[in-house]
C-alpha cells in the first residue's frame, strides 16, 4: 500500500514517535559529518501554490543531505487545478519523480494529489493543517524536555492550520494542549472532534479558552503564529483590531513556568503576535525550531522514499 504523509492524525502514536526518533538520529548523523545517501537516485517533485522559505529550502536541502535531488515547480509552471487538472498533474508526476511534496491553499488539492498518485505525497501545508511543521515542533519540544508526555503546550492566537496539527501531535504524544483564541477564530470543529478521540486514548487534556493569561499558566511551551495567514489578506485590518490582546510579550511569558520555551512557525510579524524581546529572548526557540524542519522532514522522506 502506498504511503503518504498528509496529516499527523493518520499515524499512530508509536509511528509518530518512531519518526521523531529517526529525525534525532539523522540530525546527529548530519552534525557528526553528514548523512548516509539513503535516498541516492531519488527525486522529490515540489509543487508550490504559496511562497515559502522554510518549506522549500528544508525539503531541497533534506534531499541533498540524503543523496537525492529535489525539483521545484512554481505556481505558474503547474497551475494546479487551473492550467491542468490535479488528477492529471498527479499521474504525470508519478511517472517522472519518486515523491511529491505540495504546498497548497485548499486541503482538497492535497487529497486529490494523493488519490491519483502512485508515489508518496507529502502535505507541505494546506488550509486545514501543517503536519510537517508539527513534526518539527514536537522534535524541538522533545529536545528541550525529553519527551512530550504530560507537558503543557499552549497555543495563543488564531485557530489555524498550524494550531490543528500542533493539537493533533500533542494529543498523539500525550501532551496537554490548550488554545486561547478570540471568538470567531476557533479551530475547525471536525479537527477538534478528532483531537478529542485521539486524546481519549493518550490521556492528553484539551482545553479551549478565550483568555491567554489563564491559558499560559503552568505552560512548558507557548506557541503563536501570525494573525493573518496567506490567503486572508483581505481580513488583515479587522484581525489587527481583534488580536492585540493575544500578543506574546514579556508579560505573558512571565505568567508561565520559569523554564517555558516560546515557539513560532515563522514568518513572524514582529510587534504584532510576538515582540522582538520575546522572539530574541532567553525563552525563544524560534530558530532551532525552524532548523528542525530540515531534520524532521528528512525522517519523513526516508520513511516514505527509502
Residue 88 annotated to the active site: no
Sheet-wide strand order for 221-224: 206-209, 176-180, 152-156, 221-224, 261-264
One of 112, 170, 265, 285 is an active-site residue; which one? 265
One of 49, 112, 133, 289 is an active-site residue; which one? 133
Query: Per-residue pLDDT averaged across 78-96, rounded?
Result: 90
pLDDT over 90 (residue 293): yes
Residue 133 annotated to the active site: yes
Residue 266 corresponds to which cell in the numbers above?
515563522
- pLDDT value at residue 80: 80
- pLDDT value at residue 233: 83
- pLDDT value at residue 78: 82
Residue 170 annotated to the active site: no
- Quick one: pLDDT band at residue 187, thresholds 50, 70, 90? very high
The model's pTM:
0.97
Query: Per-residue pLDDT averaged across 18-39, rounded?
Result: 98
- What is the per-residue pLDDT across 212-240, written as a single tens digit (0 to 9) for each? 999 999 999 999 999 987 778 888 899 99
One of 54, 107, 168, 293 is an active-site residue; which one? 293
One of 65, 107, 130, 168 is an active-site residue; which one? 130
- Quick one: pLDDT band at residue 51, thresholds 50, 70, 90? confident
Residue 142 annotated to the active site: no
The mean predicted confidence, pLDDT, of the chain is 96
pLDDT over 80 (residue 79): no
Residue 293 annotated to the active site: yes
Residue 225 annotated to the active site: yes
- pLDDT value at residue 253: 99
Domain architecture of the chain: domains with CATH = 8-130+293-305 (3.40.50.1370), 133-289 (3.40.50.1370)
One of 220, 225, 247, 264 is an active-site residue; which one? 225
- Quick one: pLDDT band at residue 81, thresholds 50, 70, 90? confident
- pLDDT value at residue 221: 99
Instruction: Give the whole-number percent of the chain exceeding pLDDT 90.
Output: 92
- pLDDT value at residue 175: 98
Residue 72, strand partner residues: 46
Q: Which residues contact 191 (CB under 8 A, 6 or more apart)?
A: 128, 129, 164, 167, 168
- pLDDT value at residue 65: 98
One of 54, 65, 103, 285 is an active-site residue; which one? 103
- What is the per-residue pLDDT across 146-180, written as a single tens digit (0 to 9) for each? 999 999 999 999 999 999 999 999 999 999 999 99
- What is the per-residue pLDDT across 97-113, written as a single tens digit (0 to 9) for each? 999 999 999 999 999 99
Amino acid at each position: 500500500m502506498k504511503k503518504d504523509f498528509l496529516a499527523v492524525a493518520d499515524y499512530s502514536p508509536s509511528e509518530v514517535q518512531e519518526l521523531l526518533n529517526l529525525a534525532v538520529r539523522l540530525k546527529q548523523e548530519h552534525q557528526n559529518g553528514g548523512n548516509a545517501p539513503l535516498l541516492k537516485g531519488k527525486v522529490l517533485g515540489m509543487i508550490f501554490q504559496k511562497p515559502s522559505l522554510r518549506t522549500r529550502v528544508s525539503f531541497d536541502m533534506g534531499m541533498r543531505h540524503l543523496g537525492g535531488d529535489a525539483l521545484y515547480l512554481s505556481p505558474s509552471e503547474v497551475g494546479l487545478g487551473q492550467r491542468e487538472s490535479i488528477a492529471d498533474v498527479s499521474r504525470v508526476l508519478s511517472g517522472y519523480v519518486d515523491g511529491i511534496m505540495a504546498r497548497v491553499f485548499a486541503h482538497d488539492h492535497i487529497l486529490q494529489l494523493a488519490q491519483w498518485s502512485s508515489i508518496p505525497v507529502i502535505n507541505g501545508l494546506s488550509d486545514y493543517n501543517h503536519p510537517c511543521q508539527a513534526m518539527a515542533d514536537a522534535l524541538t519540544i522533545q529536545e528541550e524536555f525529553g519527551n512530550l508526555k504530560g507537558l503543557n503546550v499552549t497555543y495563543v492566537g488564531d485557530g489555524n492550520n498550524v494550531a490543528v496539527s500542533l493539537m493533533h501531535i500533542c494529543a498523539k504524544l500525550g501532551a496537554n494542549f490548550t488554545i486561547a483564541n478570540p471568538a470567531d477564530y476557533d479551530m475547525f470543529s471536525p479537527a477538534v472532534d478528532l483531537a478529542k478521540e485521539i486524546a481519549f486514548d493518550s490521556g492528553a487534556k484539551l482545553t479551549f479558552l478565550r483568555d491567554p493569561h489563564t491559558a499560559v499558566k503552568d505552560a512548558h511551551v507557548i506557541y503563536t503564529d501570525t494573525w493573518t495567514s496567506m490567503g486572508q489578506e483581505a481580513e488583515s485590518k479587522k484581525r489587527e483590531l481583534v488580536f492585540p490582546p493575544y500578543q506574546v510579550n514579556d508579560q505573558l511569558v512571565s505568567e508561565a513556568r520559569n523554564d517555558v520555551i516560546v515557539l513560532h512557525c515563522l514568518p513572524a510579524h514582529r510587534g504584532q503576535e510576538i515582540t522582538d524581546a520575546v522572539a530574541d529572548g532567553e525563552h525563544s526557540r524560534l530558530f532551532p525550531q525552524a532548523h528542525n524542519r530540515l531534520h524532521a522532514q528528512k525522517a519523513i522522506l526516508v520513511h516514505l522514499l527509502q
